Structure 1
Amino acid sequence: MVSLPFDRKDLPAPCRTVDFEGSGNIVCEVDLRSYEVRRGLDGADGKPYGSLASFMAGQPAAAKLVLSMNAGMYEPDMRPVGLYVEEGKAIAPLNTGEAPGNFYMKPNGVFFVAKDGTAGVVSTEAYGKAAPDVRIATQSGPMLVIDGKVHPRFEPNGTSRYVRNGVGVRDPNTIVLAISTEPVSLGRFARLFRDELGCANALFFDGMISALSNDRKVLLGGTDPVGPILAVYEKS
Structure 2
Amino acid sequence: MRRSLVISSIALVLASCGDQSGGEPVMRTEIGSGVAEETASPTSEAEGAPEAQANSPCRRTTEMGVIYTHCIADPGRHRVTMSLGPKGSYYRTFARLAGARSSTASPVVFAVNGGMYDEAGAPIGYYVEDGERRRELNRADGPGNFHMQPNGVFYGTDTSWRIRTTDDFYASVSDRPRFGTQSGPMLLIDGKLHPDFQEDGPSKMIRNGVGVDAQGRAHFVKSEGGVSFGRFAAYFRDVAKTPDALYLDGNVSALWSPGDDRMDTTVPLGPLIVVEERE
TM-score, length-normalised on structure 1?
0.92
2:121 pairs with 1:118: no
Q: Distance in 2 between matches of 1:129 and 1:182?
A: 37
Could you say which residue in structure 2 is the equivalent of 1:159? 202
Q: Distance in 1 between matches of 2:262 and 2:102?
A: 21
Size of the alignment, in residue pairs?
232
Could you say which residue in structure 1 is the equivalent of 2:119? 76
Shift of 1:98: 0.5
TM-score, length-normalised on structure 2?
0.78
- Return closer, same or farther for 1:189/1:177 CA change in 2, 3 Å cut-off: same
**Does structure 2 conserve the Cα–Cα contact (< 8 Å) formed by 1:12 and 1:66?**
no
Shift of 1:6: 3.3
2:132 pairs with 1:89: yes
Show CA shifts across 1:127-171 (max 9, x none).
000124311000000000000000010111111111100000003
Extract structure 1 runs of 4+ deviating beyond 6 A.
Answer: none
Shift of 1:179: 0.3
2:252 pairs with 1:209: yes
Percent sequence identity over matched residues?
Answer: 36
- Map 1:95-174 to 2 at 5 A: 95-114=138-157, 117-133=159-175, 134-171=177-214, 173-174=216-217
Shift of 1:4: 3.6
**Does structure 2 conserve the Cα–Cα contact (< 8 Å) formed by 1:6 and 1:219?**
no
Secondary structure at 2:178's aligned position in 1? strand
Higher strand share: 1
Shift of 1:51: 1.1
Shift of 1:173: 2.6
Q: Distance in 2 between matches of 1:217 and 1:91?
A: 32
Q: 73, 79, 83: which is aligned to 1:30?
A: 73
Could you say which residue in structure 2 is the equivalent of 1:187? 230
Secondary structure at 1:171's aligned position in 2? coil
Could you say which residue in structure 1 is the equivalent of 2:13? none
Q: 269, 272, 278: which is aligned to 1:226?
A: 269
Q: Distance in 2 between matches of 1:168 and 1:12?
A: 22
One-letter code aligned to 2:56: A
Please tell me the root mean square deviation across aligned C-alpha atoms, in Å: 2.0
Q: Distance in 2 between matches of 1:162 and 1:112?
A: 25
Could you say which residue in structure 2 is the equivalent of 1:176? 219
Q: Distance in 2 between matches of 1:223 and 1:211?
A: 7
- Return closer, same or farther for 1:34/1:109 CA change in 2, 3 Å cut-off: same
Secondary structure at 2:258's aligned position in 1? coil
Shift of 1:192: 0.3
Report the structure number with the largest CA radius of gyration. Answer: 2
Q: Distance in 1 between matches of 2:232 and 2:56?
A: 22
